[in-house]
Amino acid sequence: MNEHKIGVVQAASSDITAGTGSTVAFQYPQYIPEHPENGADPTPDRWAELVANWDQWYGGSGFNAQGSKGIIPGNKIWPEGTSTAVWPLGSDYDSLNKFVTRTIRYYDQATNESIAVPVQQQVHFGSSMIIDLVTGENLGYAMPDSTGVLSSKPVTPHKSDSWYAVGLSEFPQVGSPDLSAKGYVNPTLAVVPSQTPVNGAANSEIIVYYQHQLTSKKLVKNVTQTIHYVDATGKQIAADNHQVVALNGELQTDLVTKQTTTTWNSGAFKDVVTPVIAGYTADTNVVVRSKVAATSQDRTVTVSYRKNQVTAATASTPADSSVNQAITNRHTVSQAKQKVTVKSRKLPQTNERQAGHLPVVLGMLLILLVVGVINVNNNPDNTRIK
């Protein structure tokens, strides 16, 4: 009995050179039934028969067709021979190899721009189809053992169960690069952890963001207000008033862009009540408060005083009293004269009545004499009473 030659089309191997260096007269043992489903998974009945009779039908060592990059399903397995067997469906490279990719990118958090070379990782999943090189039939799928050695006969009839990792089975962890020399700090992930993908998983992308490194410098600025108090000639009339407002600021420098930003707090000068100076009036009673900002400059305010005006006294002086007294005395004398005249006209012609009124007349004359003396003393320019 001639054994059928078999080929194992492996994932990620070299191009196939099936039949190179040998000339084989293919004979079909009558007890191996034809299997019309070219490229399909073996049917349960066919699979059981293959497993049971593998060593007898195919022997322990068959033809090993390495790789799958040169395989095109539907093309003849033996282009130069008389066999009409063709490569089954699913035996091509793309059908037996899958790659799951993880890409790690490093971005500027402020601008969302790439700032470092991305890291790309792949886990390779492969499937190895065992093919009857006489008939072109898919006999099943080989799998590696615990040591990674691929089996020499089919292990599973179904492709979905045949995937295995070729090489690394996980994405290894990756430490994020140190970009402090470019001015960056604090990546969102200091280490991207390892990950074990499954066959058929979608490609993934991880973005690590970096912040700009900022340096800070404290700033202090003092702004002064001076109030001068002067009279109309500009002469200082009261002590100056001084106020100082201290502003605090911060200068930040972006080590990526080299740009600087300065921030300041604000303040204010307080109200200042103008001093009261006796005999003077100021042009303002209060120098009102004013805001102070980082752009404010030292400030000088001048308060001017004017001297109060003195008005004439309205009260009587001693000299005025003497004049008034003289006028009063003259009025009294005049009244006395009128009384004397009136009374003398009414005196009777008899000696008795004249004698009775004589003392009165003498008293009045004495009064007039005294008044005249007083008037002369108070009026030196007058020599007699008129």
Residue that wins the pLDDT comparison between 315 and 147: 147
Read off the DSSP letter of residue 146.
T
Q: What CA–CA distances, in Å, run from 265 to 202, 244, 248, 293, 358?
A: 53, 15, 6, 7, 109
pLDDT at 113: 97
pTM, two decimals, is 0.61
The three-point CA angle 8-9-10 to 5° equals 105
Measured between alpha carbons, how far is 16 from 159 in angstroms, rounded to an integer? 21
pLDDT confidence band for 349 (50 / 70 / 90):
very low
Query: What is the enclosing helix (H) or strand (E) of 122?
Result: strand 119-126
Mean predicted lDDT score pLDDT of the chain: 79
Whether 186 has a pLDDT exceeding 90, the answer reads: yes
Whether 79 has a pLDDT exceeding 50, the answer reads: yes
pLDDT confidence band for 346 (50 / 70 / 90):
very low
Q: Kindly report, residue by residue over 1-42, the tens digit of the pLDDT.
A: 445 555 666 665 444 444 333 333 333 333 344 455 556 788
pLDDT at 21: 31
Provide mean pLDDT across the span 143-169: 90
Residue that wins the pLDDT comparison between 164 and 318: 164
Residue that wins the pLDDT comparison between 56 and 122: 122
Measured between alpha carbons, how far is 187 from 115 in angstroms, rounded to an integer? 12
pLDDT at 293: 96
What are the φ/ψ torsions at residue 149 (nearest 5 degrees)?
Answer: -85, 130
Whether 147 has a pLDDT exceeding 60, the answer reads: yes
pLDDT at 273: 97
3-class SS of residue 10: coil
pLDDT confidence band for 288 (50 / 70 / 90):
very high
Among 148-162, 221-235, 363-377, the least confident range: 363-377
pLDDT at 267: 96
pLDDT confidence band for 367 (50 / 70 / 90):
confident
Provide mean pLDDT across the span 80-87: 81
According to DSSP, the β-strands at 299-307 and 214-230 are parallel
pLDDT at 304: 97
pLDDT at 121: 97
Measured between alpha carbons, how far is 155 from 130 in angstroms, rounded to an integer? 10
Q: What CA–CA distances, in Å, run from 25 to 119, 134, 135?
A: 52, 10, 13
pLDDT confidence band for 169 (50 / 70 / 90):
very high
